[in-house]
Amino acid sequence: MKLKIFLSILILLTLASCSIPVDVPPSPTALLPATPQPTLTAAVGASPIPVLTQIATPLPTSAPGIVTSYCDDPRARDLITSFGKAVANKDGALLAALVSPTTGMDVRIYRDGNVVNYDVEHARFVFETTFKADWGLSYGSGESTLGSFQDIILPSLKIVFTPAALLECNQLKVGGVTYEPVWPYPEMNYYSVHFDGNAGLDWETWAVGMDISSGKPLLAAFVHYVWEP
């Protein structure tokens, strides 16, 4: 009886061992050897290998924007170029952006005539307003010159402010004169913008005074020079 029970248990264990699924992954039998890591060794007598550190080294730079004098500042000439564009296109908005908000823009058609000042807002409309200002006495007739900016000033500006104009910094560039040319703003830097004419008496010069506002040059004064009888 005991032999039959033992045989029955043995048969059941045998059947159970045959029912294990065949897709069970096998257990790893060996681990792959670790990849050896390179090591740094110093030669005998050599200095120890230094620890690598990151040091922020500033890039070499020049000193942009350093201007030793007014005449070295390219922005002054750029300002004259921009003014020439405003004149050529009768662009009041551009002109207003070039005028000093501190001093406004003085304009004289006669070097010793009346000064007409345009603040930023009025400069915006000089190419369209018909307001007649009194510019002073004419050299020829001796009578008062009355007229708007676009009638009295603009025609001369269009002749002088061209790419061919001659520029001189802090010097009055003029043609033949019967008077002593003087810049009437001794404390103000300026450029002469000169039209040579036809090598005769039809030359013209506008001296352009500039005010430094917010660190940049802006238009502050215009004085006209021509041959006078």
Residue 48 lies in a domain: no
C-alpha to C-alpha distance for 172 and 207, rounded to whole angstroms: 7
Q: Please check whether residue 77 lies inside any domain of the structure.
A: yes
Task: Supply the range of the domain harboring residue 193.
Answer: 70-226
Residue 112: CB atoms within 10 A of its CB come to 13
Q: pLDDT digits over 199-229, tens only?
A: 678 999 999 999 999 899 999 999 999 999 8
Q: What is the pLDDT of residues 98-132, one digit of tens each?
A: 999 999 999 999 999 999 999 999 999 999 999 99
Q: Which helix (H) or strand (E) holds 145?
A: strand 144-147
Residues 92, 48: Cα–Cα separation, whole Å:
73
| 209 sits in which H/E element | strand 204-213
Q: Has residue 124 been placed in a domain?
A: yes
Contacts of 179 (CB under 8 A, 6+ apart): 228
| This prediction's pTM | 0.70
Mean pLDDT of 77-84: 98
**In this structure, is residue 64 part of a structural domain?**
no
Does residue 199 fall inside a structural domain? yes
The domain spanning residue 151 has which CATH number? 3.10.450
Domain count, the chain: 1
Q: Does 105 fall in a domain? A: yes
